[in-house]
Structure 1
């Protein structure tokens, strides 16, 4: 088994990869979502950008606990959590309003093909990340790293929503399915935002839906 120093290095590398992946996923998803007029894909991409803010807090956390495993959450992490929480709430407001408007006007995406492709890729990547983070967290016996792995599961849930809404639309061309998928994403985004504020006020790590 790798030594503690090497394990923290792996954990930090996974945090950086998560940030970079979410940036790339956000750029591609929002662009294609806008081009294809798919609100679910656009919302999914917007969520990825917010996850970047959260990821910066996670990377900072790993550096902190590497220096002192028993240290408490610091001001940088609490600020990152609050900013992330506000961003999630703003995203929810925008997505919910647009979803109901699209249902009202019977809006249809041009295609949801790219939603299918991106969701499958995201599920595969995030599943590997969850497994790897859990392995490192267990080897270090680190509650913060294990909590981060559990929070990454939320990204898988959102990817599944994108997959289902995109797949159903491609098969049946039901106009409101894209908006229903967006509302489902909004539910998880709201939960994430709420949990960010709860964690910012305390030192507990496991506050995610999957915990």
Structure 2
């Protein structure tokens, strides 16, 4: 069991590190190329870092007892995460309207295509690895984390689709639609974070 818990903790550290790097790269290219979808994707990755820290803390607690609800630290992390997701949602909606009114088009969305492709592969591996460990430990907490990783997997496909379509047709609406798609998931994740705090449950609704 200790070996499986070490594996779960290692996966949580990879999740945090990857999201941090992905966030930096995505925000840099998103701001530089004026692609709101990629920029929003990067900010989402930064928010996932806060969530990942809470998960890592939870797995560390599992070394000493069975985890069925969040402790004070994890609830605080969830509140920060939920608030950040709501702010991201607002920012993406406002940004989409402004870009549409001012006809602000991305210079290129090739970085978005590359980042999304890498993210799809990484998130799929993380998701399946966490599920494998969670089932081996019979841990609802780790299985819930794996199911929540699936949201990042979905977001990567939204970014890939919007970036790819924009690069092919050079139509602003594709970047806007991608931004609003990310905003929708950000709002859902924010609402879920606060629901978890209120209920104390570990279950992720994206199962």
TM-score, normalised with respect to structure 1: 0.96
Q: Distance in 2 between matches of 1:56 and 1:116?
A: 28
Match of 1:63 among 60, 63, 88: 60
Partner of 2:77: 80
Q: What is the CA distance between 1:70 and its match in structure 2?
A: 4.5
Query: Which structure 1 residue ranges, 4+ long, deviate > 3 Å from structure 2?
Result: none
- 1:207 is displaced (CA, Å) by 2.6
Offset at 1:191? Answer: 0.1
In 1, distance between residues paired with 2:191 and 2:78? Answer: 10
Q: 1:162 aligns with which of 153, 159, 179?
A: 159
Partners of 1:43 and 1:208 lie apart in 2 by 22
Q: Which runs of 5+ in 1 are unaligned?
A: none
Separation in 2, partners of 1:107, 1:56: 36
Superimposed CA distance per residue, residues 18-64 of structure 1 (whole angstroms, 9 cap, x where no aligned partner): 00000000000000111111100000000000000000000000011
Q: Among residues 128, 131, 142, which one is paired with 1:131 in the alignment?
A: 128
CA distance in 2, matches of 1:47, 1:135: 25
Identify the residue that residue 27 of structure 1 maps to in structure 2.
24
Q: What is the number of residues matched between the two proteins? A: 207
TM-fit CA distance, 1:71: 5.2
More displaced stretch, 9-18 vs 195-204: 195-204
2:185 to 183, 188, 196: 188
**Cα gap change, 1:40/1:70 in structure 2, threshold over 3 Å: closer, same or farther?**
closer
More displaced, 52-61 or 66-75?
66-75
**1:12 aligned onto 2:9:** yes
Distance 1:38 1:77 in 2: 33
* Residue number in structure 1 paired with 2:37: 40
| Matching of residue 179 in structure 1 with residue 176 in structure 2 | yes
Contact 1:33 1:42 in 2 (8 A): yes
Secondary structure in structure 2 of the residue aligned to 1:107: coil
Q: Match of 2:150?
A: 153
* Deviation of 1:133 (Å): 0.3
- Which structure 2 residue ranges, 5 or more long, are not aligned? none
Mean CA deviation greater in 102-111 or 153-162: 102-111
